Amino acid sequence: MVSPEPLSDSSNSALVRLRALLDESSFDGEQRLPAERVLAAQIGIGRRALRRALEVLEAEGRIWRHQGKGTFLGPRPARAPTSLDELSKRTHPLEVMDVRLEIEPALARLAAMRATNGDIERLLHLAEKTASSSDADGRELWDSALHRTIAEAAGNSLLLAIFDLVDRIRQDTTWRLLRERARSGNRQQLYVEQHRRVIAAIAQREAHAAEQAMREHLELVRDSLLKVMTSPLPARIDGEIPAKMMSANTKNERHHGT
Amino acid sequence: MVSPEPLSDSSNSALVRLRALLDESSFDGEQRLPAERVLAAQIGIGRRALRRALEVLEAEGRIWRHQGKGTFLGPRPARAPTSLDELSKRTHPLEVMDVRLEIEPALARLAAMRATNGDIERLLHLAEKTASSSDADGRELWDSALHRTIAEAAGNSLLLAIFDLVDRIRQDTTWRLLRERARSGNRQQLYVEQHRRVIAAIAQREAHAAEQAMREHLELVRDSLLKVMTSPLPARIDGEIPAKMMSANTKNERHHGT
DNA sequence: CGCCGAACCAGTTGCATATTGGTTCGGTCT
DNA sequence: AGACCGAACCAATATGCAACTGGTTCGGCG
């Protein structure tokens, strides 16, 4: 068929010659093919023409490229499912807060039921430290330790591992400035009070109260985060917020109908 | 009173002086304190004596050290990510069921709120497949796909990743024989009915009903697993069951959103 | 107008180097 | 003999730099 041909002759010949190279398996055993500059010189075409040909091949899925790494044969390797970087890149802060709202109240409840006296002692100690810490960095450090100690006290190693996973994503670089701005809001005193309430409930073995207190605390944290993110400041973390993911369990009454 | 003193005078004085430094917050804002060689020179003691003092402080949890990094104030930060193998090795089946009981009802609730019509269509399709499947292997396959589709429909990629993590542990080799024995109990028909109920609730957007139905389903699964594990058969999965971890949320009614 | 070479930008890798805590050794003083 | 010290070494980490990579822009040229 004679379709309109946007590519020039030389580009086209480059594509043909590249396809021939790939088909002949001229790079036997070699997953990686030469750098663009080298390859262009070998074939005897310009780098620009070569790149257009490579674009086609990449769109076809026959090769894949990555800046700084090179060009490789075969389909793009699947992402490691639990690779922290990948996961944190494609995870939105509000998603993380939703997950924390699902997990940490449960952790607090379990901690209230199963914490040892030693756990409770450590929690009380941490609460003091958090309150007495003056600078923001120190507060965040002790706060993190506090939440994790509760997770430990829950006595479920898998749930603890999940907590760590979420926490690692939360502490990723992208969030740094976000948290700095979030904690500028002077809610620190309220946070301290909420922490105290959670710990008290755990110490008194009141599972439901611990769960509820933790949920209220995290809801406040999320609202604070939300406020920061929707603030008129032009510097947004990420342009797109998937519509599905929008936080939706502030008051999750039953949805009837529609 | 003159208690036996294992430490020498100089070490002791080093410890006293170090404690003074930390209490006075001489390292305000600085999480990291000077290198051992420097610090020893500053205090005017030998490095060996300094190190003994640091050991005490580390045991007390006031500092933490790591080779090549340095010595830091505060509690030791969360440790490195746990690989799947490691995690799976020291995770007990009942722990996994407890985690599923925490996460999957929440997933069902979110799915009821945010599932697309396409999601629901797929769920209905899967329900048919699961019911019509005759052999046990096929049933398990469809069952797994069903649970994961619900997790997808929840629309939180991080929560989905966590679900996958748990699911991968659940499908680890150690569990194979356990599941074989568990499904020998003729509860399959009941499982199918429970699945149907969960899907119906999601399709009708009844978040609370979906959550509750999923919880009931998983509780039955866990009870079935528990029965198999405590059966008189000598082949136990793992010798030790930490007392803390014993399942303890059979009847904890939940209060979401107050 | 299309193409080319060249330069520049940005992400990645590797290596040499410096610094850290961890350890061992011999000398020295009490 | 035991406690201490300085020095050196070991191993893990951090850091900076050079050398690539693909991605992009620019001026020149036919």
Confidence of residue B249 (pLDDT cuts 50, 70, 90): very low
What percent of chain B shows pLDDT beyond 70? 69
Distance CA B82, CA A166 (A): 13
pLDDT at A206 over 70: yes
Are A159 and B102 inside 8 Å of each other by CB? yes
Show residues of chain B in contact with A102, CB under 8 Å. 102-103, 106, 159
pLDDT at A112: 97
Q: What is the ipTM score, two decimals?
A: 0.62
pLDDT at A108: 97
pLDDT at A172: 65
Average pLDDT, chain B: 77
Q: Which residue has the higher pLDDT, A43 or A204?
A: A204
Q: Which residue has the higher pLDDT, B128 or A6?
A: B128
What percent of chain A shows pLDDT beyond 70? 66
H helix and E strand count, chain B: 11, 3
The closest alpha carbon to A87, from A147, A167, A178, A179, belongs to A167
Q: How is residue B226 written in tokens?
A: 């528990």
pLDDT at B254 over 80: no
Q: Residue A156 burial by CB count (10 A; 0-12/13-18/19+): exposed, middle or buried?
A: buried
Q: What size, in residues, is chain A? A: 258
Confidence of residue A188 (pLDDT cuts 50, 70, 90): confident
Confidence of residue B79 (pLDDT cuts 50, 70, 90): low
Confidence of residue A164 (pLDDT cuts 50, 70, 90): confident
Confidence of residue A5 (pLDDT cuts 50, 70, 90): very low
Q: Mean of the pLDDT values across residues A64-89? A: 75
Strands, sheet with A70-73, edge to edge from the N-terminal-most edge strand: A32-33, A70-73, A63-66
Q: Which residue has the higher pLDDT, A83 or B127?
A: B127
Q: Which residue has the higher pLDDT, B249 or B127?
A: B127
Q: Which residue has the higher pLDDT, A17 or B121?
A: B121
Q: How is residue B253 written in tokens?
A: 């009614």
Crossing angle of the two packed helices A93-114 and A136-153, in degrees rounded to 10:
50
Q: Mean of the pLDDT values across residues B77-106? A: 80
| Contact yes or no for B218/B105 (Cβ under 8 A) | yes
Distance CA B114, CA B127 (A): 19
Q: Mean of the pLDDT values across residues A71-98? A: 74
The minimum CA-CA distance between A222 and chain B, rounded to whole Å, is 15
Tell me the C-alpha to C-alpha distance, in Å, between residue B31 and each of B59, B71, B75. Answer: 18, 9, 11
Residue whose tokens read 């069902």 = B108
Judge if the beta carbon of B68 is closer than 7 A to nucleic acid strand D: yes
Please list, residue by residue across B79-115, b when 16 or more beta carbons sit within 10 angstroms of its beta carbon and e when fewer do.
eeebeeeebbeebbbbbbbbbbbbbbbbbbbbbbbbb
pLDDT at A203: 95
Are B162 and A161 inside 8 Å of each other by CB? no
Confidence of residue B15 (pLDDT cuts 50, 70, 90): confident
Q: How is residue A162 written in tokens?
A: 């999940």
The Å distance, CA of A167 to C1' of C21, is 27
| From A26-30, A96-100, B205-209, the region with the lowest mean pLDDT | A26-30
Which tens digits make up the pLDDT trace of B154-186?
Answer: 999 899 989 988 988 887 756 666 666 666 656
Q: What domains can you pick out in chain B, each with its CATH number?
A: 9-73 (1.10.10.10), 84-245 (1.20.120.530)
pLDDT at A20: 79
Strand partners of residue A64: A72
- Nucleotides in chain D near protein beta carbons (<7 Å): 3-7, 11-14, 20-25
Closest chain B CA to residue A145: B75
The Å distance, CA of B12 to C1' of D1, is 22
Q: Which residue has the higher pLDDT, B109 or A168?
A: B109
Q: Residue B39 burial by CB count (10 A; 0-12/13-18/19+): exposed, middle or buried?
A: buried
Distance CA A204, CA A120 (A): 10
Tell me the C-alpha to C-alpha distance, in Å, between residue B203 and each of B76, B109, B137. Answer: 47, 11, 27
Confidence of residue B248 (pLDDT cuts 50, 70, 90): very low
| From A27-31, A159-163, B188-192, B238-242, the region with the lowest mean pLDDT | B238-242
Which tens digits make up the pLDDT trace of A111-123?
Answer: 999 998 888 988 8
Give the nucleotide at minimum CA-to-C1' distance from B14: D4
Which tens digits make up the pLDDT trace of A125-142?
Answer: 777 766 666 556 567 767
pLDDT at B133: 62
| Contact yes or no for A163/A107 (Cβ under 8 A) | yes
pLDDT at A93: 83
The minimum CA-CA distance between A181 and chain B, rounded to whole Å, is 19
Judge if the beta carbon of A67 is closer than 7 A to nucleic acid strand D: yes
Closest chain B CA to residue A116: B244
The closest alpha carbon to A177, from A236, A90, A247, A98, belongs to A236
Q: How is residue A127 written in tokens?
A: 């609460």
**Which residue type sits at B112?**
A
pLDDT at B99: 96
pLDDT at B125: 82
